[in-house]
Amino acid sequence: MDSLVEQIERGTLWQFPGGVHPPEQKSLSNQLPIARLPLPDKIVLPLKQHIGANGQLLVNKGDKILKGQPLTKPSANWSLPVHAPTSGKILDITSAPSSHPSALPELSIIIAPDGNDMWCDLTPVDDITQLTHKQLVDILHSAGIAGMGGAGFPTYIKADSHQPIEYLIVNGVECEPYITADDLLMQEHATEIVQGIEIMQQLLKPQRVLVGIEDNKPQAIAAMARACEHNSAILVRTIPTKYPSGGEKQLIRVLTSKEVPSSGIPADIGVLVQNVGTLFAVSEAVNKGKPLIERVVTVTGNTIDKPQNVWALIGSEIKHLLDSQGFTPVAEQRVIMGGPMMGFTLPTVRIPVIKTTNCILAPDNRELVEPGDEKACIRCSACADACPQTLLPQQLQWFAKSKDFEKLEEYNLFDCIECGACSYVCPSEIPLVQYYRVAKAEIREQKLDQIKAERAKERFEARKDRLEQEQQERQNRHKRGASRVTKPEKEKAKVADALERVKQKQGDKSAVQAAIARAKAKKAADGSLEPDNSEVAKERAKRKEQARSYKEQKQSTEGTPANTDDKKDAVAQAIARAKAKKAAKLAEESTPNIEPEQAQPSSENDDPRKAAVAAAIARAKAKKAAKAEENTSSIEPEQAQSSSENDDPRKAAVAAAIARAKAKKAAKAEENTSSIEPEQAQSSSENDDPRKAAVAAAIARAKAKKAAKLAEESTPNIEPEQAQSSSENDDPRKAAVAAAIARAKAKKAAKQVEENTSNVEPEQAQSSSENDDPRKAAVAAAIARAKAKKAAKQAEQNAQATNTNDDLAQPMSELKQIDNALAEQSDSEQLTPEQKRQAAIKAAVAKAKAKKQAKEQEGNDPS
């Protein structure tokens, strides 16, 4: 099978679908050569005569112009300039009716010709082979050449195609009835047309150039064939007469069998189409330097006396052309711009000729019958059969009437070439093409409005963003201005920060110290701090050593009776020294226990009330230690005296046992007092609540009173018994046993008093909680402790006097009563809290009576 190029070279032609065969009526205007008209009285030159944007004006009202002078310059893409068709003067630049079915006003330049028809300076090109591609394109652009076959597409855009072009097709078909402008142009200017073809060959470099001419133009075919003999790449092809074979897409199908896709252009399939009139303008622009200022227009119709093709200046009014050819109007005369199939009726003959005007038709009523009223569609499908684009004209008409623009685009409305074949065959005389034109205009306007709306939205959003950004920048500037501070302020801020850091560190240290103090207090309260018993163990060892030395002295005394007096004196002195050491130790133990505990809370808390309480406690403890030393010193002379009076060693042992018992009792009383007072001091230093301070003071007073009563009761009851037992029994072993029994009973009595104290304390604490002043509570506690110490001291003195007067003689029955009392006290440990409370109250009453008797004895004492 032959390739496409071989088929084309052999002259093979193809058919396109649809099409009609209307009466040609070409013989009216092709019998005479092209005529040149006289200059018009006025030229109306629209700025927009093509597809694309208007040019920018270069002239003003009143300016003198020359023929061929550019009046505008390109200002945007697809923009072409317009040139002065003749020399003259610019009368005005205003809006005038456009060459459009709507005749909407367009900005136009009104020129008054001066009759001289004087050209401006032209720059023709002698050898086009010396020009570059860009230079040739610029010449076409500056000449203002647009497609002269119908649409008015800028020629320089086609000439600068970036897609490879395989076939360049020259459209000389001119299929529409009455129109013979291209036919006469090919007959008379075939050489210039071929020159234009060769210029396009240099720009596009196609493989083949195909010149299509209908078979009803034999003279034009012969002229073009003779002009193309020297160029073998140009092939002249005669095609059957059929309307609309002159359409761009239909001609491509006939000559190359290629089909342009929907919404596509011929360049997409490697084909480019140019009209013979456009190629003639290209040749004039390059070879002669003439811009596009005139063109061939067919003036025909039965109302024209001399139908003929004429050279019409761009901007000449239609009236000037009609008058020049002998126009004789009739009733209801119509003037059509274009052919009977694709032309449109002019609303006025004052519309100018533009670059795409190829025919002015002025028929009479018999020649071109006025269409009747529109009737209902009978669905004969004749329109669909005649459509060369294989569309559905009936469906498109329905969608156009209902303004369903989406459906119109879906059914490829813009593929319609507006050939009018459907309207021509419609039996219902429906103006289908008019519906399509209106719908296309509305869709274009709608899309333009959408584009404007989108651009307005973009501008609005851009403005909004800009305003927000400016506002944000202003806020940031205000913030930066507020954040700026002077140098002195910065220095002050640095000093303040340093002071704050120092305070924070001090606060951290105080917090650490407070935490340590609280931990110590908790351990002291819980009893988790174990007492150091090393000193007690040393003292115990010393006492054992003294006991052994005493036994050895006693044995030696019994063996040598001659030295009994000296030995007794030595024993008495040793006992006195031992008691003095014990008293000193008791004072040392009580004083150190007070000072650290009181010093610590006083250093931690700066409250003057707590400091006063701590000071009072310290003074009271110091007084107690001094009194204990006095008591010890008062006991030692008595014992020394008694030991000196009694030469019997047994009596000396009894006296020593009594002295040891008294010393232990005094030490235990001091320990109870010392253990109470630090706890109160610490609790009062930690708690700032005045009620808690009052409760602590009451508890301290209660413990002090109980300790005093214990000392008063236990001392007179135990000592006589021990004295008696020691005086009755001469055996030293028995004396030692009696002393141990006495110590055990004293410990049991102290324990019972502590239990009673724990039961009584809450009541007294509750009664004392009514006093809110911590200072008064502290003073009251100190006074109570002082009174208790004084009472204890007085009781000891009375006991010593009683023991001395009775000469250590007590009946055995009293010893039994004491044993029974101790047994009852030991049994009371198993009583209920209420019973213990009642027992404590009875004990307190008994102690009060004993105090009263002691006072009476003091009053009766003659000393």
Question: Residues 368, 334: contact at Cβ < 8 Å?
Answer: yes
DSSP calls for 47-72 = S--SSSPPPEE---TT-EE-BT-B-E
pLDDT at residue 849, rounded to an integer:
74
Q: By the 8 A CB rule, do 593 and 672 touch?
A: no
| Relative orientation angle of helices 812-827 and 732-768, to the nearest 10 degrees | 50
- Output the pLDDT for position 51: 85
Nearest to 14 by CA among 237, 271, 261: 237
What is the Cα–Cα distance from 264 to 272, expressed in whole angstroms? 12
118: tokens are 């004087």
Q: Which two tokens stand for residue 554?
A: 């006693």
**Which amino acid appears at position 213 of this protein?**
I
In the chain, the amino acid numbered 653 is: A
pLDDT digits (tens, 9 = 90+) for 32-50: 999 999 999 999 999 988 8
User: 174 with 217: CB under 8 angstroms?
Assistant: yes
Query: pTM of the prediction?
Result: 0.56
End-to-end CA distance of the chain: 167
- Which residues partner with 119 through β-bridges? 67
Contact 376/428 with Cβ under 8 angstroms? yes
Summarize the chain as % helix, strand, coil (round to 5): 60, 10, 30
Q: How many whole angstroms separate alpha carbon 396 and alpha carbon 407?
A: 8
What band does 478 get if pLDDT is binned at 50, 70 and 90? confident
Question: DSSP class of residue 316?
Answer: B
> Of 222-226, 387-391, 487-491, 821-825, where does mean pLDDT reach its minimum?
821-825
Q: Distance between CA 240 and CA 246 in Å, rounded?
A: 11
164 three-class SS: coil
| Binding-site residue ranges for [4Fe-4S] cluster | 377, 380, 383, 387, 416, 419, 422, 426
The SS3 assignment for 246 reads: coil
Which domains, from first to last, does the chain contain? 371-484 (1.10.1060.10), 566-860 (no CATH)
Position 547 confidence tier, pLDDT thresholds 50, 70, 90:
confident
Higher pLDDT, 654 or 176: 176
Q: What is the pLDDT of residue 706?
A: 65
Q: Percent of the chain having pLDDT more than 90? A: 44
Q: Print burial letters for 693-703: b (CB count within 10 Å at least 16), e (below 16).
A: bbbbbbbbbbb
CA dihedral 739, 743, 746, 750 (to 10 degrees): 170
Report the range of poorest mean pLDDT among 216-220, 329-333, 836-840.
836-840
pLDDT for res 83: 95
Residues 6+ apart with CB under 8 A from 649: 554, 557, 558, 564, 567, 568, 571, 732
φ, ψ of residue 184 to 5 degrees: the values are -70, -35
Whether the bond into 244 is cis, omega within 30 of 0: yes
Report which of 387, 444, 410, 155 is spatially closest to residue 249, judged by C-alpha positions: 387
Describe the crossing of helices 774-806 and 649-686 by its angle, rounded to 10 degrees. Answer: 170
Contact present, 810 and 723 (Cβ < 8 Å): yes
> Given a cut of 80, is residue 414 above it in pLDDT?
yes
- Report, as an integer, the average pLDDT of 590-598: 41
For 7, counting Cβ atoms within 10 Å of its Cβ (0-12 exposed, 13-18 middle, 19+ buried), the class is middle
pLDDT at 684: 38
Distances, alpha carbon 352 to alpha carbons 34, 109, 314, 320, 398, in Å: 20, 11, 7, 9, 35
More confident residue, 575 or 649: 575
Angle between helix axes 833-860 and 774-806 (nearest 10 degrees) is 60
Residues whose CB is less than 8 angstroms from the CB of residue 595 and which lie 6 or more positions away in sequence, other chains included: 618
Q: Give the tens place of pLDDT for each residue, 306-328.
A: 999 999 999 999 999 999 999 99
Kindly provide the residue ranges of all beta strands, DSSP E only, lying in 98-177, ordered along the sequence: 105-113, 167-171
Q: What is the pLDDT of residues 816-862, one digit of tens each?
A: 444 444 444 444 444 566 666 666 676 667 677 777 776 766 655 54
Closest CA to 364 of 385, 340, 381: 340
Tell which residue, 262, 316, 326, has the closest CA to residue 337: 316
Contacts of 414 (CB under 8 A, 6+ apart): 263, 440
H/E element, 237:
strand 234-239
| pLDDT at residue number 772 | 43
pLDDT at 308: 95
The Cα-based distances of 201 to 11, 209, 257, 724 in angstroms read 21, 8, 22, 159
Task: Annotate 736-761 with DSSP letters as a single string.
Answer: HHHHHHHHHHHHHHHHHHHHHHHHHH
Q: Are 238 and 215 in contact (CB under 8 A)?
A: yes
Q: Residue 452 pLDDT more than 60? A: yes
Each residue's pLDDT tens digit, 47-91:
988 888 888 999 999 999 999 999 999 887 788 999 999 999 999
Q: What percentage of the chain has pLDDT greater than the value 70?
A: 62
Lowest-confidence segment of 87-91, 310-314, 378-382, 728-732 by average pLDDT: 728-732
Degrees, nearest 5: CA angle 250-254-260? 50
The mean predicted confidence, pLDDT, of the chain is 76
pLDDT of res. 625: 57
- Rounded Cα distance between 706 and 420, Å, is 135
Rounded average pLDDT over 526-530: 51
Q: Work out the average pLDDT over 108-132.
A: 92
| Residue ranges at the known binding site | 377, 380, 383, 387, 416, 419, 422, 426
